[in-house]
Amino acid sequence: MDHILSITPWPVVSALLWFVFLAAALYLARRTAHRAIHAATEAVAQGLRIAAHSVAAAESRLTARNREVLLAAGREAKERIVEREFVRVGETTRKDLTNYPALHRALSESILRIEEDHQKAVEVPPEAPGWVRAVEAVAKIDAKNGASDVLADIHRSMVKAHNEAMQAYRKASAERHGLLRQMMPEWRAIQETLGRVNKVIESLLTRSVAIDRHMQEYEDIVRGQDRAVSILQSSSVVQFFVSALVLMVAIGGAAINFSLIARPMAEMVGGTHFIGSFRTADIAALVIIMVEISMGLFLMESLRITRLFPVIGALPDKMRVRMIWITFSILLLLASVEAGLAYMREVLLQDELATGALLRGESGGELQSQYLWITTAAQMGMGFVLPFALVFVAIPLETFVHSLRTVVGLAGIALLRVFALVLRVLGNGFRHLGMLAERLYDLPLFLPLWLEARRSATNGSPAARDMRESPL
């Protein structure tokens, strides 16, 4: 530094001279330096812009791909729902309407019987014709002409005939009422039958409304409408979180299951062997749990509750039923093994406690609670039930896997969007940085630039005008 400032006896003068030399050099190289700065920063900015475009294109492709995946998943789900609804309609029709001819015949017979009974009920006993007129004629005969006896006889006969007619009438009425009474059960039967038919029809109508709704949504999906995509997206995200939550619960259950069988497993495979850095007993216990989960998956697939393995779903029904029984048998076997291991765990625990107490010099090693069987039974029960409970992991797992594709796609889109934005901002930043660097370069050259501007202004050249107008 001292050497630089020693070109004249006065350091200040030396510094001033250096400044003048440097300014002159910078002024002379100004145009080239500006071009170099501009080229460098513009190259970086251009590169970043191209990268941003590329990322944006990738984001667009991913968006399109995600949309396709989402629509395909939605279409498949809707097809399954509609198919299920049709199966239900089919079952209802088969179960309730297959015997419709018999129902119709029963109704017709009931109506026929009612008609017959009704016909019978309307027949009334005939009245004795002309009696009233005969009575009137006899009543006009003078009683003194010895007709009183005749009249008395007639009266008696009439009373008798009246009584007989009344009895016949009552009998006929009773028969009619009897017939009407017989019609009541038929009416009720008809009412019940019609009620059943009404219920079936209402059920079918409800199902048809649901099918209409699902078909409408299906059509929206097939057309690829934005509304349908939006609904599917939100539904997929919700399903992802819900299934993840249920899977966490299942993992907790598997962990408890593991702790139940890991200790006694050491009795079977030894407690001191290691595979890598893991105990063989722990790995064996884990394998059992994994096999149980796998069997559960296969069982669910065979039952066509989940559709993770299309091969199983496409198997012939006979083979599928065989698979159901085989997987269920293996599960039952493993559950029984687990129950046994859970019992063994309790026995080992008691043994260890007793040994520990003996080694500590305590006398209560053999003291056992009378309620110990409760924990033993609970452990055995858990050991038996948990494998079957883990079977149902297949359902949230399927949902998780399907929704994961969408959620990962959405996350990727968001990431690419942010990345493209950052690249764009950086590109613009470099361009402005170049301009700033040019201005900073010109900063120490304010004096020659000012002089140049003045000279140009005096000359009145267009370049000078430009110089005047452009900021330093």
Partner 1 sequence: MSRRIVLAALLVLAGCGPATPRNTGVYLLLDTSGTYAGEIRKAQQIILYILSRLEPGDSLAVARIDTGSFTEKDIVAKANFDDRPSAANREKREFAARVKAFVEQSKPAPYTDISGGLLQAIEFLNEKGPGRKEILIFSDLKEELAKGYIRKVPFELKGFDVVALNVTKLRSDNYDPREYLSRVAAWRAKVEAGGGHWRMINDLERLDGML
Chain contacts with partner 1 (rule: CB under 8 A): 263, 266-267, 270-276, 347-348, 351-352, 354-356, 358-361
435-443: long-range pairs with CB below 8 Å, 24+: 437/37, 437/41, 438/34, 438/37, 438/38, 439/472, 441/26, 441/30, 441/33, 441/34, 441/37, 442/30, 442/472
Q: How far apart are CA 121 and CA 181, in angstroms?
A: 10
- Residue closer to partner 1 by CB (options 214, 345) is 345
Q: How far is the CB of 292 from partner 1 (least distance, A)?
A: 24
- Residue closer to partner 1 by CB (options 169, 274) is 274
Q: How far apart are CA 282 and CA 193, in angstroms?
A: 64
- Residue closer to partner 1 by CB (options 252, 270) is 270
Distances (CA, A) of 185 to 102, 107, 112, 189, 196: 18, 12, 14, 6, 16
Could you report how far apart the first and last alpha carbons of the chain are, in Å? 31
Q: How far apart are CA 11 and CA 1, in angstroms?
A: 10
Q: How far is the CB of 263 from partner 1 (least distance, A)?
A: 7
- Residue closer to partner 1 by CB (options 268, 315) is 268
Q: How far apart are CA 346 and CA 335, in angstroms?
A: 17
Q: How far is the CB of 285 from partner 1 (least distance, A)?
A: 14
Q: Is 254 exposed, middle or buried (0-12, 13-18, 19+ CB in 10 A)?
A: buried
Q: How far apart are CA 173 and CA 122, in angstroms?
A: 10
Q: Is 167 exposed, middle or buried (0-12, 13-18, 19+ CB in 10 A)?
A: exposed
Q: How far is the CB of 258 from partner 1 (least distance, A)?
A: 17
Q: How far is the CB of 357 from partner 1 (least distance, A)?
A: 10
Q: How far apart are CA 242 and CA 238, in angstroms?
A: 6
SS3 275: strand
- Residue closer to partner 1 by CB (options 266, 410) is 266
N residues, the chain: 472
Q: How far is the CB of 342 from partner 1 (least distance, A)?
A: 15
- Residue closer to partner 1 by CB (options 16, 287) is 287
Residue with tokens 């399927």: 398
Q: How far is the CB of 353 from partner 1 (least distance, A)?
A: 10
Angle between helices 317-359 and 372-391 (to 10 degrees): 150
Q: How far is the CB of 275 from partner 1 (least distance, A)?
A: 7
- Residue closer to partner 1 by CB (options 276, 316) is 276
- Residue closer to partner 1 by CB (options 379, 406) is 379
Q: How far is the CB of 340 from partner 1 (least distance, A)?
A: 15
Q: In DSSP terms, which residues pair with 274 in a beta bridge?
A: 279
Q: How far is the CB of 266 from partner 1 (least distance, A)?
A: 6
- Residue closer to partner 1 by CB (options 267, 452) is 267
Encoded amino acid at 155, one letter: H
- Residue closer to partner 1 by CB (options 314, 359) is 359
HSE-up of residue 403 (Cα within 13 Å, Cβ side): 19
Write out the H or E segment, with its range, that includes residue 278.
strand 278-279
Angle between helices 280-302 and 317-359 (to 10 degrees): 150
Q: How far is the CB of 270 from partner 1 (least distance, A)?
A: 3
Q: How far apart are CA 442 and CA 27, in angstroms?
A: 8
- Residue closer to partner 1 by CB (options 284, 331) is 284
